[in-house]
Amino acid sequence: MSNWKNVNNWHWTEKNCINWAKDYFKQKLVQVACSYRDYDVKTTNVTDVTGDVDLNQRKGKVITIFDVAIKVTWEGTAPDGTEAAGTITIPEVAHDTTPDEYVFDIVVDSETAAKREIKDVVRKHLTPLLRTRLASFQDDLIDAHRKDVYIDPSQLGQPGNARSAAAPPTVPTSTTAAAASTATKPVVSSSLSPKVNNTVTIDETIEFVTSAAELYQTLLDPGRVAAWTRAAPQINPTEGAKFYLFGGNVTGVIEQLVPNQKIVQKWRLATWPADYYSQVTMTLDQGDQSVRLHLVQTGVPLGEQDQTKTNWHQYYWQSIKATFGFLIVETFTNHATFAAASRPSSDPARRARRSDAPRNSLSWLTPVAVVTAASAAIVYFVFYHA
């Protein structure tokens, strides 16, 4: 199917695959069995799958972002006829961890010494089989849903009602030549400045388990930004400085900085009308063990608010969490405002999807968090010392 709005797969697209993942795990992780010295154990059911599973495409690259917890039931029999049953909980199956890092928490019902021996067989011989099954999840996710976020170039077409017809591929023009020469550079808008009459305001609060100073640096420091955007950014934490992120898909100007307290930016997506910017204000409120980031974005073109929200959550907050281990405690959607010809009126807001269940402790400091933080530090060092 042709998609004239996403020519060359340049823009962000996303598909929520959590329901598919639930069915997938039930097929892959049920009736997995093994025998060891006349001990027989097997999984019987997948009782719970929680978290996020998304497939994304940006600039022609298919990206998986997932973080789920899985609970599986098991049963087993010892050589003397003793029977046991229990659960296996896998607290984190994530895109930024390898199968070798997966943790299996095994519980046996009404544990006794005899049942404990069956539990040991589950731990030593059954969980490696589950680990192998989980190792193929990422590739299977891409195979199943790639066609929904990535369009084969041969299927890309031109719209019948496009505002301006593209030149035939066999007749190069100065416009197409310029586009080809800047395909890997930040998008530079034309001199046109179309007026956008109908806009929406996004108003959300995101709570991170970190300090305001750390989060402020994470949003502005070039090395840190390079780590969580996974690309070389152009950003300078100075008022009046322009910034280019995600290969030019996000651009803008830093208008005001109050260290560790406030960031104000002119902000736009490359898909918006040329030279049109929204205004983003991020206010940091330091608490006892966490910081609340209050985001207010005014002037979002009507019809672009859902994609813009998704981009904030997926490519800013979730990526920062995965890179630096800053747990997102909770996300609040405060309200949205619809503005027609600059005259505001109320409009119900869609509640933002929560990325994690609320947790109020510091139990997020797991070995995986330490590893991701170490990886971010390596990226930070390479960016500055390369």
Confidence at 369, pLDDT banded by 50, 70, 90 = very low
pLDDT value, residue 164: 36
Between 282 and 322, residue with greater pLDDT: 282
pLDDT at 13: 67
| Interval 21-39 mean pLDDT | 95
**In the chain, what are the domain boundaries?**
4-148, 194-385
Least confident segment among 90-104, 340-354, 368-382 = 340-354
Mutual angle of helices 222-229 and 367-385, in 10-degree steps: 120
Rounded mean pLDDT of 264-283? 92
- The residue with greater pLDDT, 84 or 7, is 84
Q: How confident is the model at residue 383 (pLDDT cuts 50, 70, 90)?
A: low
Neighbours of 115 (CB within 10 A): 19
CA distances from 350 to 25, 329, 333 (A): 29, 19, 8
For residue 57, the cross-strand partners are 13, 62
At 256 the three-state DSSP class reads strand
Q: Which is higher by pLDDT, 183 or 58?
A: 58
Phi, psi angle pair for 77, to nearest 5°: -135, 140
Identify which has the larger pLDDT, 127 or 188: 127
Q: What is the mean pLDDT of residues 69-83?
A: 96
For CA atoms 265, 337, 330, 316, give the dihedral sign: negative
Assign 326 a pLDDT band (cuts: 50, 70, 90). Answer: confident
Distance CA 14, CA 18 (A): 12
> Can you give the pLDDT at residue 368?
41
CB neighbours of residue 78 within 10 Å: 18
Phi, psi at 347, each rounded to 5°: -150, 125
Q: What is the pLDDT of residues 132-160, one digit of tens each?
A: 999 999 999 988 887 776 555 554 444 43
Q: What whole-number percentage of the chain has pLDDT above 70?
A: 69
Indicate the fold that domain 4-148 takes in CATH: Bactericidal permeability-increasing protein; domain 1 (3.15.10)
pLDDT band at 349 (very low <50, low <70, confident <90, very high): very low
State how far the Cα of 269 lies from the Cα of 221, in Å rounded to an integer.
21
Asked whether residue 130 carries a pLDDT value surpassing 70, the answer given is yes
Ranges 13-17, 66-70, 122-126, 294-298: which has the least confidence: 13-17
Question: Quick one: pLDDT at residue 58?
Answer: 66
Share of residues in the chain with pLDDT > 90 (%)? 46
Report pLDDT for 43. 97
Supply the pLDDT for residue 289: 84
- pLDDT category of residue 116 using cuts at 50, 70 and 90: very high
User: CA torsion sign, 34 to 39 to 42 to 47?
Assistant: negative
So what's the pLDDT on residue 359?
34
Residue 303 has pLDDT above 90, yes or no: no
Say whether pTM exceeds 0.75.
no
Q: What is the pLDDT of residue 273?
A: 87
Q: Pick 152 or 61 by higher pLDDT.
A: 61
Residue 86's pLDDT is what? 97
The CATH code of domain 194-385 reads 3.30.530.20
Closest CA relative to residue 143, chosen from 37, 25, 20: 20
For the chain, helix (H) and strand (E) counts, in that order, are 10, 14
pLDDT band at 32 (very low <50, low <70, confident <90, very high): very high
Q: ∠266-272-273 over CA atoms, to 5°?
A: 100
Q: What band does 52 get if pLDDT is binned at 50, 70 and 90?
A: very high
Checking if the pLDDT of 92 tops 90, the result is: yes
Token couple for 54: 């998304």
Q: Indicate whether 167 pLDDT > 90.
A: no
Mean pLDDT across the chain: 77
What's the half-sphere exposure (Cβ side, CA atoms, 13 Å) at 349? 16
**198-208 β-sheet, strand order:** 242-245, 250-258, 262-269, 278-286, 291-301, 198-208, 328-340, 343-347
